[in-house]
Amino acid sequence: MAVKILMTWDISQENEQQYFEFVISELIPGVQRLGFHPLDAWATLYGDYPQIQVGMMAPDAESAQNALDSDGWETLREKLFEYIDNFSYKIVPARSGFQF
């Protein structure tokens, strides 16, 4: 059964420009190489919730976890962590529409 990988984080204010450049040039192509299909990205403009939420699709939970355990994801994650704070993720059964 298809799953969604839901990730949340806050962008470090001192690294906003570098963050956006990294996301476009490295993160999106990198997760696609790992077999994820990026679905959506949401920004919180008001309220006490993580600033960014990203949703990606994977064919099943096992392949999602294998990708997240890979050296390729480790490299992307380490670079992402240079620009963000408060990272979290979860793997959930895929449903249509927005998921928390």
Mean pLDDT of the chain: 94
Predicted confidence (pLDDT) per residue in 18-65, tens digit: 999 999 999 999 999 999 999 999 999 888 899 999 999 999 999 999
pLDDT (0 to 100) of residue 100: 66
99 domain residue, yes or no: no
Tell me how far apart the alpha carbons of residues 20 and 11 are, in angstroms, rounded to a whole number: 9
pLDDT of residue 22: 97
**Cα torsion 25, 26, 31, 33: sign:** positive
**Within a domain: 35:** yes
DSSP single-letter state for residue 17: H
Alpha helices in the chain (DSSP H): 16-22, 28-33, 61-68, 71-80
The range of the structural domain enclosing residue 87 comes to 3-93
Tell whether 25 is covered by a domain. yes
Domain count, the chain: 1
CATH number at residue 46: 3.30.70.100
**How much is the average pLDDT of 75-88?**
97
